[in-house]
Amino acid sequence: MVNVIIENAVQIAATLVVTLIGVLGAWLSAKIAKQSELKNIAAATDAAVDAAQTTVLELQQTTVDKLKAASADGKLTKDEIDELGKLLIDGASAKMSDAAKGVLNAAGVDLTAIIKGAGEAMISKSKKSN
């Protein structure tokens, strides 16, 4: 009788250990997946910032200087600034891979806000250095 009780206790303990290992493995896998997802989001955000910065430099060379030269006071109008903002978003989005855009969209990140923010930071930095 004692042997039967011990055998059942050992079986229950073994089942609990196997279940615990499975639960721990699933939890660890979820943590690793989350960390990997965060790395992907960070990489996609970096790609958006790089694309925005490159586009700002391109627009400075191809459009902004010409618009300022054509202006009597050498400044951009509100409409010109709005148009440059659209060109920035379109240009930076075109430079990004579909995979990076998909990662950011899946994460619920506002790609337009990232691009505008990076572009404005680049412009501000450029103005300070001049």
Cα atoms found within 13 Å of the Cα of residue 100, Cβ hemisphere only: 18
Q: Please report whether residue 21 resides in a domain.
A: no
Question: pTM of the predicted model, to two decimals?
Answer: 0.74
In angstroms, the Cα distances linking 55 to 36, 44, 64, 65, 105 are: 29, 16, 12, 14, 21
Say whether pLDDT at 34 is over 80. no
Instruction: Give pLDDT, residue 118.
Output: 92
pLDDT of residue 10 exceeding 70, the answer is yes
Is 18 among the domain residues? no
Convert the pLDDT of each residue in 48-96 to its tens digit.
999 999 999 999 988 888 888 888 887 888 999 899 999 999 999 999 9
Number of domains in the chain: 1
Domain-embedded: residue 83: yes
Give the chain's length: 130
- Residue given tokens 């059942």 in the structure block: 8
Residue 10 lies in a domain: no
pLDDT band of residue 11 (cuts 50, 70, 90) is confident
Whether 95 is in a domain gets the answer yes
Full domain range(s) for residue 109: 37-129
For residues 69 and 25, the model is more confident at: 69
Instruction: Give domain status of residue 66, yes or no.
Output: yes
